[in-house]
Amino acid sequence: MREEIEDRERRGVISPTAEPDERAIESALRPRRLDDFIGQTRVREQLSLMLQSALQRGRPPDHVLLSGPPGLGKTTMAMIIAVELGTSLRISSGPAIERAGDLAAILSTLAEGEVLFLDEIHRMARPAEEVLYVAMEDFRVDVVVGKGPGATAIPLDIAPFTLAGATTRAGLLPAPLRDRFGFTAHLDFYAPDELEQVLHRSARLLEVNLRADGAEEIAGRSRGTPRIANRLLRRVRDYAEVRADGVITREVARSALTLYEVDEEGLDRLDRAVLGALLRRFGGGPVGLSTLAVAVGEEPETVEVVAEPFLVRAGLLARTPRGRIATPTAWAHLGLNPPRGWQEPPTLFDSSGS
């Protein structure tokens, strides 16, 4: 279930499946150098200094941990690190490394200076983490031969490398692993003007006629996430080519996004279903997560991981110890009036309400 949910997170809000040609387009839109990367100004400056210093010393840079919500450019940033260093990139993921031997096999084949990118590193198996600790610190893996009391560990030196780890849940990383990263960067959501720059760049690469007002409309519905902005751009492009003259204006973008059920605030079908159930069926709450999930016909983890983070960030929903509660903004967004006696949620709430 967790794998399915996080895969849905990575894919965005429009297509329920990630077709091969869609992935190819996303890859083509990725910037190749730090100078081409839009947004994340402070992270880019910090990373540039670290990489330039490493190149001057002639040694691999410190290990890098990239954290933040899906779609903000963690994978792209890891690819850029390898390009800036003039080396190759080896890609794997935490869920794919189930045993210590899996990781040892990867590490033992790395060339000196290579960058190893581990996506969703927080989902790596615990035995593999123990191997990674030593590899990151001492550039060594211990290969265990035999079983039981007669087992022996044979140290195997590996070439100095740079680990680029990406995680959407930095809090799930064990402290010993987190502390071994020399540089930790948190990627933040993008401002609308930054998303407009992303959209204009993508439009040039896709040879799409995107007007300024069209870019503004799409950026405002993209949840502060470049991946979603690019997905919406491609869907609006389809609409413009089939039902308009191929030019993306504000009116064309609005019509297309209405067709794809993305409203003015960027809420999609699932978001509105969760809010609608919370307001219409439960009077604004509080209501437990499981009950709310049943009301919208989804698994509790789907509601919690896919829908809630954006609804909370948009100020439409609060998670309290008593359950989920709608905010005044939620009532206004759906054009509903709170029932008599409804009270606003407390200003202090935790993120673990159920």
Q: Which amino acid is at 236?
A: V
CA distance 243 to 259: 12
Tell me the sheet residues that pair with 145.
152
Annotated active-site residue 147? The verdict is no
C-alpha distances in angstroms, 323 versus 20, 326, 336, 338? Answer: 40, 10, 21, 18
Among 11, 74, 123, 178, the active-site one is 74
Annotated active-site residue 119? The verdict is yes
Please, is 72 exposed, middle or buried when counting C-beta atoms within 10 Å of its C-beta (0-12, 13-18, 19+)? buried
- The answer to whether 317 touches 327, Cβ cutoff 8 Å, is yes
Annotated active-site residue 327? The verdict is no
- The answer to whether 326 touches 285, Cβ cutoff 8 Å, is yes
C-alpha distances in angstroms, 61 versus 54, 160, 344? Answer: 5, 10, 50
Among 76, 162, 167, 168, the active-site one is 168
How many C-beta neighbours within 10 Å does residue 16 have?
A: 7
DSSP string, 216-285: HHHHHTSTT-HHHHHHHHHHHHHHHHHHSSSEE-HHHHHHHHHHTT--TTS--HHHHHHHHIIIIITTT-
Tell me the sheet residues that pair with 166.
66
Among 11, 119, 178, 302, the active-site one is 119
The structure tokens 């880019």 sit at 44
Among 123, 227, 231, 235, the active-site one is 227
Annotated active-site residue 75? The verdict is yes
Tell me the catalytic residues.
74-75, 119, 168, 227
